[in-house]
Structure 1
Amino acid sequence: MAGTEPTPALSTRDLTIRFGGHVAVNAVTADFYPGTLTVIVGPNGAGKTTYFNLVSGQLAATSGRVLLRGEDITRAGPARRTRLGIGRAFQLTNLFPHLTVAENVRLAVQSRAGIGMRMLSLWSGHREVIARADHYLERVALAPRRGSYVGTLSHGDQRKLEVAILLALEPDVLMFDEPTAGMSVDEVPVVLDLIHQVKAERKRTVLLVEHKMDVVRALADRIVVLHNGTLVADGQPAEVMRSKIVQEAYLGSPETV
């Protein structure tokens, strides 16, 4: 039907979590659509990462709902949410330091392909798996380190490897929590260019927690602002950044925004 609103790829409805008497995320309702990159900002302690944890299933909501393509997944665990199409970079916690760079990405490709867990020594027979893994390593400029053990990588290279693993899972919804944190100036452009490429495809839904305003300006189609766990602003970047309350309380003074 003409004029019908598109179905959100991801939605939260009154999503709330309490830790004792503290409300960390307070009744957040938002829709996220395919082809849109939304940056979530706010001061330290605003609830940004906690909100991510609720969406990806790392935390169970006290109340409210999480919907994926209209399906209620509130009670689904993180593994099921990954299978359903939510991919999140977990700030290094999902890397296997005693495996090589290539082996880490191959595990993700295997999982996505549904091949099942096989001995690493048998992977040589899965040329397509190896080729796909190499493709993602090239995208993050890690092909020269494919044989290195993850534990020997710099922090920046480990963050790039995380992005490669996330892309290899081919999720419909990609979630990045400060993807350039801890990276050197030289390493940042590789990851930002990758996110630009994903955005340019206009196929996936991207959520990004970020505090660097130059990154926000470069990437955001939309900005959501959280404060004390509550959604206080949601809209086009220019509109949100012009808001006096956002400039003063969340994004810095007008001169720095």
Structure 2
Amino acid sequence: MSEPSLVTRDLTIRFGGHVAVNQVSCAFHPGELTVIVGPNGAGKTTYFNLISGQLMPTSGSVSKGATDITRMSPSTRVHHGVGRAFQLTNLFPQLTVLENIRLAVQARSADSWRIFRPAASFTALTAKAEYYLEKTRLTKLAHQLASALPHGDQRKLEVALLMAMEPDIYMFDEPTAGMSLDHAPDVLELIAGIKADRSKTVLLVEHKMEVVRALADRIIVLHNGELLADGAPGTVMASDVVRDVYLGGATEETA
């Protein structure tokens, strides 16, 4: 197996007397899609927040390759190749679809600081943005405001923004939350396409078992902030302990 692209070591966070994530150690590898599951309040999104930098740990560490990113801000982690899509869409609502993606491309480019240069002069940036529009089948919506898009297309736009940042690590927090049955397959197909690139590492928080079965190479189960199980999907989901804790517990969750 290749060297890990992302490692958490004894990752822990306390809120007062409550330990939300407790000494979670995991290594994630390129070419692998890991789904993180667990009952309500298990610590899944908190663990995600620690990896992406929205929260700072009480103890433990996060490494991207050989680089310790534990105390880096979320924006700095993005420049180190850690990209995240949130459970709720995180867009610029009063900009068009194309403008949203062009900003993401610009943020990744060497010209990211030149914010007062006319947008029309960024020919190469616009061309690259159009490439991601095409990859995510949003070309026909290029000049619509993000706020005017149906929820399903907003989720596709968020995936396009993440792809435009060209991360090595892709993190998705319940990517099909709130989506209709018609739109969910489009987003899952985009994630499957990212997974097919064996240089990328994909982490996914999800509770819909049909999504887990369709995409997972590996499943991690968190319970009360601790790592309960880690392994191949069939092995993990066949475990009596996992079935009691996860399948026998709440399945509609937001934690």
Counterpart of 2:201 in structure 1 is 205
- Please state if 1:243 is matched with 2:231: no
- Please state if 1:187 is matched with 2:183: yes
CA shift digits 1:132-157 (9 cap, x unpaired): 11121222222111111111122221
Segments of structure 1 that go 5 or more residues without pairing to the other structure are: none
- Please state if 1:148 is matched with 2:144: yes
Kept in 2: contact 1:8–1:70 (CA 8 A): no
Counterpart of 2:211 in structure 1 is 215
Kept in 2: contact 1:35–1:201 (CA 8 A): yes
Question: What's the secondary structure of 1:184's corresponding residue?
Answer: coil
Q: Separation in 2 of the partners of 1:10 and 1:115?
A: 28
Question: What's the secondary structure of 2:176's corresponding residue?
Answer: coil
Q: Separation in 1 of the partners of 2:172 and 2:90?
A: 14
Q: Separation in 1 of the partners of 2:115 and 2:76?
A: 23
Give the superposed CA RMSD. Answer: 1.6
Amino acid at match of 1:234: D
Q: Given the superposition, is the C-alpha separation of residues 216 and 93 from structure 1 closer, same or farther in structure 2, using an over 3 Å criterion?
A: closer
User: 1:107: Cα distance to partner?
Assistant: 0.4
- With 132-141 and 30-39 compared, the bigger mean Cα shift is at 132-141
- Please state if 1:17 is matched with 2:13: yes
Q: Separation in 1 of the partners of 2:88 and 2:41?
A: 21
Counterpart of 2:169 in structure 1 is 173
Counterpart of 1:77 in structure 2 is 73
- With 169-178 and 115-124 compared, the bigger mean Cα shift is at 115-124
What's the % identity of the aligned pairs?
Answer: 61
Question: What's the secondary structure of 1:108's corresponding residue?
Answer: helix
Question: What's the secondary structure of 2:90's corresponding residue?
Answer: coil
Counterpart of 2:55 in structure 1 is 59
Counterpart of 1:102 in structure 2 is 98
Q: Separation in 2 of the partners of 1:174 and 1:120?
A: 30
Amino acid at match of 1:136: Y
Question: What's the secondary structure of 1:75's corresponding residue?
Answer: coil
Q: Separation in 1 of the partners of 2:116 and 2:178?
A: 31
- With 128-137 and 13-22 compared, the bigger mean Cα shift is at 128-137
Query: Which of 148, 157, 161 is 1:161 aligned to?
Result: 157
Q: Separation in 2 of the partners of 1:103 and 1:34?
A: 30
Segments of structure 2 that go 5 or more residues without pairing to the other structure are: 250-255
Question: What's the secondary structure of 1:250's corresponding residue?
Answer: helix
User: 1:245: Cα distance to partner?
Assistant: 1.3
Q: Given the superposition, is the C-alpha separation of residues 238 and 105 from structure 1 closer, same or farther in structure 2, using an over 3 Å criterion?
A: same
- With 168-177 and 108-117 compared, the bigger mean Cα shift is at 108-117
Counterpart of 1:136 in structure 2 is 132
User: 1:7: Cα distance to partner?
Assistant: 2.0
Q: Separation in 1 of the partners of 2:131 and 2:218?
A: 30
Kept in 2: contact 1:92–1:158 (CA 8 A): no
